[in-house]
Amino acid sequence: MIEVLVVLDIKELANQKEFEEYILKNGFECAAPFAYTGMSATPVFNTQAYTFEVFSKAFDAAGVEECRLICQIGGYPPEAYLYKKEEFFTELK
């Protein structure tokens, strides 16, 4: 099993309840405000794709246009990303 950690850099969500319900329904748990954990039995690439898909749909449901986040999958170093509704996720260097 691979552990997944996602931390959002977002001040507030207009519809936080709907956002978190969607995240929880799709296998993530709230570890702290705007920090979510989950487990995966799929390869890292598939886990990353699933994670981005879940969070992009949750962002859409909550009306988020842009958000920075850090994603760590398994023992790999954490990576920073910028989500923009029109561009999906872009890795930040």
At 87, the pLDDT band (50, 70, 90 cuts) reads confident
Separation of first and last alpha carbons in the chain: 28
> Tens digits of per-residue pLDDT, 42-68?
999 999 999 999 999 999 888 888 999
Residue 51 CB-density burial (10 A; 0-12 exposed, 13-18 middle, 19+ buried): buried
Q: What is the pTM of this model?
A: 0.90
Measure the CA–CA gap between 17 and 46, rounded to whole angstroms: 27
Q: Is the pLDDT of residue 16 over 90?
A: no
CATH 3.30.70 fits 2-92, yes or no: yes
Q: Give the pLDDT score at 17.
A: 86
pLDDT band at 14 (very low <50, low <70, confident <90, very high): confident
Q: Which residue ranges make up each domain of the chain?
A: 2-92
